[in-house]
């Protein structure tokens, strides 16, 4: 899928933040962006034509929110892996369903490499909030990835984003 992505080209010298793994590309760092719509995926390219990251296009001063610093296919397996990694981290922190609580934040936006996405687990239920249009657009893929990761341990996925989106 990444071969079909539009490109966002950075101004010379503006790649340093991304090389340090900062998850945002501000509009002032963009030299040129191919025609895209809000929520579309783009490859972020430095001024020399080198790939830096894949992100979702926003509408404001944060023009691109990075979801991968690697050139990967953004598909169902990608979302499941992100959720699996976040779940494993919560397990290591003893914030899992089998511990002393049945409620925890599974996905916390940029901290889990998914800017604009919040997922809370309440026992057998997941509550998903998209704070960007890009995450809103892929909400069904996120729900499928949650079901795949949790199996029968997850009874419902509730999408609670209408008030969070502009």
pLDDT given at position 1: 43
- Is 107 within 8 Å of 83 (Cβ atoms)? yes
H-state helical runs in 9-158: 16-19, 76-92, 133-137, 139-150
pLDDT given at position 128: 97
Three-class SS state of 71? coil
Distances in whole angstroms, Cα of residue 96 to Cα of each of 18, 92, 102, 128, 161: 32, 8, 7, 17, 24
> Of all helices (H) and strands (E), which one includes residue 158?
strand 156-159
Distances in whole angstroms, Cα of residue 27 to Cα of each of 4, 49, 62: 22, 18, 6
Instruction: Tokens for 57, please give them.
Output: 């296009």
Q: Where do the DSSP E strands lie in 46-123? A: 51-57, 62-68, 103-108, 117-122
pLDDT per residue rounded down to tens, the chain (166 residues): 445 899 999 999 999 999 999 999 999 999 999 988 999 999 999 999 999 999 999 988 999 999 999 999 999 999 999 999 999 998 888 765 555 678 889 999 999 999 999 999 999 999 999 999 999 999 999 999 999 999 999 999 999 976 555 5
Q: Which residues contact 5 (CB under 8 A, 6 or more apart)?
A: 41, 42, 43, 54
pLDDT given at position 2: 47
d(CA 90, CA 77) in angstroms, rounded, equals 20
């Amino acid at each position: 899928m990444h071969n079909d992505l539009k490109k966002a080209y950075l101004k010379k010298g503006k790649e340093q933040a991304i090389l340090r793994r900062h998850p945002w590309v501000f509009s002032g760092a963009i030299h040129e962006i191919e025609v895209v719509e809000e929520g579309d995926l783009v490859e972020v390219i430095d001024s020399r034509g080198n790939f830096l990251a894949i992100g979702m296009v926003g509408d404001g001063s944060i023009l691109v929110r990075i979801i991968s610093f690697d050139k990967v296919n953004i598909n169902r397996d990608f979302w499941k892996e992100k959720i699996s990694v976040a779940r494993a981290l919560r397990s290591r922190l003893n914030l899992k369903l089998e511990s002393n609580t049945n409620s925890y934040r599974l996905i916390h936006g940029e901290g889990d490499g998914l800017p604009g996405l919040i997922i809370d687990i309440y026992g057998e239920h997941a509550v998903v909030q998209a704070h960007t249009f890009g995450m809103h657009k892929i909400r069904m893929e996120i729900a499928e990835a949650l079901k795949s990761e949790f199996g029968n341990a997850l009874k419902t996925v509730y999408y609670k984003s209408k008030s969070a989106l502009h």
